[in-house]
Amino acid sequence: MRGAISLKKLSWLIALTVVFALINVSCKAAEITPTRTFIAPTLLPSPQIQVIHATPTLEELSATVMATATPSSSGQTQSPVPTQATPTIDESTLPPEHFIRNISGHHQYFPLGCETAAAKDWANYFHKDFNEFEFQYRLPLSDNPDLGFVGSVDAPWGQTPPYGYGVYAGPVADLLNVYGIPAKAYKGYTLDQIKAKIAADKPVIVWVIGNMVGGVPAEYTDKKGNKVIVAAYEHVVIVTGYDATHIRYMNNGKFYQTPNEVFLNSWGVLGNMVVLDP
C-alpha cells in the first residue's frame, strides 16, 4: 500500500515537474528581447566660407585706381626717361653755396615707398599735396623699374628685380604730372645742373644707394627683353643744398651732409637719375 502511494506521489511529482518545465519554456519564448538601434551621425554640409581681403593686393589696387585715373594732357601714362641734353652749366656762374631752408619731410609709409614719400615731400614744398597711399597704388606695375613699380611695396629692402625693388624716375614724374604737379625725369644729369636748380630754390629728387653709400650696378633683362641697370638698396632722397665740398640732402625727413665725391659715387650707380621741377 505504502509502495503504491509512493509510486503515485512520484508520478504526480514527475507530472508537475514536466508541466512547470513546459510553462517556464513558454514564458521564456514569449519574452521580448530588446534590440539596440545604431543611428549613424549625420554629416552636416560644410558652411560656405567667403574669403574677404581686408587689404587689397598691390595688383588689385593698382588696377582699380589706374582704371579711373585722369590721363595726362598728352594722354600718356608712361614716357621714356631722356638722357639730360641741357648744356653744361658754367660753374663760375653758380653761387659758392646755397641751402633751401623751408623744406621738411616725413618717414616713408611703405617699406619700399621711398619714391612716393620723397615725391610727396617734394610736392609739398611747391604747395601741392596728394595722398601717399593713393599715389603709391596709382604707379604702374612692371618688372622693369623704368616702366613701373617692381614687386611688392611691402617687400624687404635690398632686393633687385624681379623681386620687390621700387621704381625709377619716369613713372614718378608721369604720375606727378597726372596730379597737376609739373615734373620732369632725366638720366645723365650733372652735379652742376643740380646746383643750378638748388640755387633757384628748386629741390631735386635723386636716385642713390642706401643712405648715400656705394653700390654695384647690374644689368637686368625684363620679361620683354628690355635691359635696365639695377642695384641692391636702391633709394631716393631729395637734394636741398650745397657748398664748395658737400651736398646737403633730406632722407625720410632728416637732413644729412656728405662730400661731393661720396654723393657722386652713390648717385652714379643708377645713372645720375633725377626728378625735378622743369
Give the tens place of pLDDT for each residue, 28-47.
444 433 333 333 332 323 22
pLDDT score of 11: 57
Confidence bin at 10 (pLDDT 50/70/90): low
**3-state SS string over the chain?**
CHHHHHHHHHHHHHHHHHHHHHHHHHHHHHCCCCCCCCCCCCCCCCCCCCCCCCCCCHHHHHHHHHHHCCCCCCCCCCCCCCECCCCCCCHHHCCCCEECCCCCCCCCCCCCCHHHHHHHHHHHHCCCCCCHHHHHHHCCECCCCCCCEECCCCCCCCCCCCCCCECCHHHHHHHHHHCCCCCEEEECCCHHHHHHHHHCCCCEEEEEECCCCCCCCEEEECCCCCEEEECCCEEEEEEEEECCCEEEEEECCEEEEEEHHHHHHHHHHHCCCEEECC
Mean pLDDT of 89-93: 73
Q: Which residue has the higher pLDDT, 88 or 249?
A: 249
pLDDT score of 92: 72
Confidence bin at 83 (pLDDT 50/70/90): low
Q: How far is CA 170 from CA 4, 22, 30, 139, in A?
A: 136, 110, 99, 11
pLDDT score of 27: 41
Contact between 62 and 152 under an 8 Å Cβ cutoff? The reply is no
Q: Whole-model pTM?
A: 0.71
User: 243: closest CA among 102, 88, 94?
Assistant: 94
% the chain with pLDDT above 70: 68
Mean pLDDT of 74-93: 54
% the chain with pLDDT above 90: 67
Residue 269 has pLDDT above 60, yes or no: yes
Confidence bin at 14 (pLDDT 50/70/90): low
Window from 78-82, 186-190, 207-211, 234-238 with minimum mean pLDDT: 78-82
Contact between 118 and 133 under an 8 Å Cβ cutoff? The reply is no
Domains of the chain: 58-65+93-276 (3.90.70.10)
> Could you read off the pLDDT of 194-209 as tens digits, one per residue?
999 999 999 999 999 9
Residue 277 has pLDDT above 70, yes or no: yes
Contact between 112 and 232 under an 8 Å Cβ cutoff? The reply is no
